[in-house]
Structure 1
């Protein structure tokens, strides 16, 4: 069995070593460890391997809290101390900026930390009916597999949701078509208000709906149903109930949302990330600030609350409508405007049409904002850009354009540990351009 000393960790949380000049990525291994491993995939330039035995353990290795670690694909870093996880993610960000963008930030921002467990207030949970395994399975996907892990608890879900998993298995197993419920979407709002949206591929019977109502009453949750696309989502029970919301207390903002709207999964980190973003952006009265990929107004409304006029742009007309509703509900409609537009097709003209912009916040999905940064021109070059990213590689690619082509300086960058126990890297960067 081959033995190696681990040099670093990659962006997926795998230990990295080099054997005869070839990179080898070892699942479950940590930097500084001497390990035995078994190769399961060989390629000309790299190999993938599974950890067999730790000969010399890292001081940062910890006992995984979840009994499904290594089986469930939801978390890959539970064996690493939580503080060390943030350090690894910071290194992933810095490596991406350098290797992809040939950039180093003037300042490395302190990592933003929050709860390590029970933080996931948004999730899509898989469901499968597998008679050979005793009936319905409810949980996340297995590692390197499309199968649903056989789980009865989950340490990153809120405790009351984790405790509900066995009852969810029983609920689905007792439906008329248990094999036609592929997914449950979870949304938890303020005061632990919990909504479960059940995707069903076949019409439900009256008896099925009664089972859902009984479950909702027993567990104090709302049950919604989705038969096809997002526009088919409807509340089943209780028929009259409060809507979902979350608050940003530092900015006196309350955000209403529907269970299938995009919101950040980690409420505590979102609040801290908001503080960092507003400190970096420093919106002031008299300024016009763009919030691109604005969603339902998560960053827009704090910008408006601080006195600037915010111009929010989002591809989803539904979310634009929700942002407008939230602006009105918070008394901020006078200095908030929102537009629906496909920012992946942004042009110089479409950005110029937004009017003069003093500053800009960009919060794109994983694909990044390459069309936006390329479309920036002398007609529209904000003095300051804050970029919130969920993918270090696309942030680095876009940062290279901002710095090497558009004349900006990367003043600082740092991570927010939005998804503890996972390899997901959320980050924030500040770009400034001399007047």
Structure 2
């Protein structure tokens, strides 16, 4: 090893000044920014550089010399290796403050907007909250078994989990049994992932298989399902190939989650997108309906509506709700959920909401028109392409549910500076505790004369 590479790996000492948007400690060493895993602002740490870059370096924490008062003992034995969580060493209160700061900094820096009011943060249970997850699986000959878990930090490997503190019960304690199950299959080296869906009434696992199963394999999977009260599904190809694996004559109960405050039960498939944190989702729905305050005469447009998570509660209050979603299968589920819950005032349409032609004069659609309120719940890329439709709708109130503060800030700037809205309020919702993921809500109201 050269003298240079030895120097790169030598332990160093640094003062941490801030947290990055990924939750890593930020230090400035000899005029260069360094990101250090698991270090907290205010700490003096010993660290080791593992990557040099042109604009910044990266390092791993070796020892905390002067700890932050906000540092807590991580609950998970895999913390530091598993990439599923990055903030278990930071107190819950400080996690919320970190996320609030990420949101406000993005709004100010990117969107050049400031909310008139900061909404109080929403938070539910911070452990065993994940009802949806995608677990990786890999046969490891040296261990003579299949490893099941989330990806490791900074490596392509899979964390060898024993249990998971954020997966909802019973999945938190089924990691080892899953590992043993896949190890026993004849195609153990051809099972790359297992998707998890925990409903209010059932648990489902979708096993991705790259080769056909033998009858003995199928029997093992079925027995696992019976022993752990889990619905088993196979996925030999794309999502359209997902099918249940169950005994002849057995009927699987549809997966559902309930929204008691609005007397709703929503059915979904095990690979459908649903909000990961069930209790937090209920709080988020309450906040959305409260902020939009739909009246019995209002027409409400719900863009990126999914299977009706916000549309159907809004339909309990509004005169009419129109939901639009790019995934046709989710639209079918939304229509079925509306019918199942006796809501005749909710209509759903399939449309590509990332289509750049949405803002052109040639754009026309049966779902576009005049609305009193609009709700947006886009993916990480945001809702930029559909904002002209929102503006043309004449809505006096727009609620934007965001899973990425950067795209929210960009779109907030457009709504305020180009379309005449005011940013009335904004705040975070802790959908993913112990991660750097920032879920937020922003309320826009049409400015006088806007």
Structure 1 length as normaliser, TM-score? Answer: 0.96
Task: Classify 1:353/1:257 alpha carbon distance in 2 versus 1 (closer, same or farther; 3 Å).
Answer: closer
Coordinate RMSD, CA, aligned: 1.4
Contact 2:311 2:321 in 1 (8 A): yes
1:347 aligns with 2:356: no
Question: CA shift at 1:283, angstroms?
Answer: 1.0
Question: CA shift at 1:162, angstroms?
Answer: 1.9
Q: 1:142: which partner in 2? A: 152
Q: 1:25: which partner in 2? A: 35
2:179 pairs with 169, 173, 176, which one?
169
1:329 pairs with 323, 340, 343, which one?
340
Unaligned ranges ≥5, structure 1:
none
Q: 2:120: which partner in 1? A: 110
Deviations 1:29-88 (A, max 9, x none): 111111122222223332222212211101110111111111110000010111211111
Q: Distance in 2 between matches of 1:139 and 1:365?
A: 25
Q: Distance in 2 between matches of 1:357 and 1:307?
A: 11
Unaligned ranges ≥5, structure 2:
1-10
Contact 1:383 1:432 in 2 (8 A): yes
Q: 1:310: which partner in 2? A: 321
1:259 aligns with 2:270: yes
Q: Distance in 2 between matches of 1:257 and 1:339?
A: 18
Q: 1:405: which partner in 2? A: 418
Question: Paired residues, what number?
Answer: 432
Q: Distance in 2 between matches of 1:353 and 1:426?
A: 27
Question: CA shift at 1:375, angstroms?
Answer: 4.5
Deviations 1:86-121 (A, max 9, x none): 111111111111111112111111110111110000
Structure 2 length as normaliser, TM-score? Answer: 0.93
Task: Classify 1:136/1:188 alpha carbon distance in 2 versus 1 (closer, same or farther; 3 Å).
Answer: same
Question: CA shift at 1:133, angstroms?
Answer: 2.0
Q: Distance in 2 between matches of 1:235 and 1:94?
A: 45
1:421 aligns with 2:442: no
Q: 1:395: which partner in 2? A: 408
Q: 2:23: which partner in 1? A: 13
Question: CA shift at 1:376, angstroms?
Answer: 4.3
1:133 pairs with 140, 143, 152, which one?
143
Deviations 1:127-183 (A, max 9, x none): 100111231011111112221111111100123212111111111011111011111
Q: 2:209: which partner in 1? A: 200
Q: Distance in 2 between matches of 1:81 and 1:159?
A: 23
Secondary structure at 2:170 match in 1: helix
1:224 pairs with 233, 252, 262, which one?
233
Map residues 228-307 of structure 1 onto 2, 5 A cutoff. Answer: 228-238=237-247, 239-307=250-318
Deviations 1:383-404 (A, max 9, x none): 1110000011111111111111
Contact 1:24 1:46 in 2 (8 A): yes
Deviations 1:235-267 (A, max 9, x none): 112531211000111111110111111101100
Secondary structure at 1:273 match in 2: helix
1:215 aligns with 2:224: yes
Map residues 347-386 of structure 1 onto 2, 5 A cutoff. Answer: 347-348=359-360, 349-350=363-364, 354-377=368-391, 379-386=392-399
Q: Distance in 1 between matches of 2:31 and 2:316?
A: 55
Secondary structure at 2:419 match in 1: coil
Question: CA shift at 1:434, angstroms?
Answer: 2.6
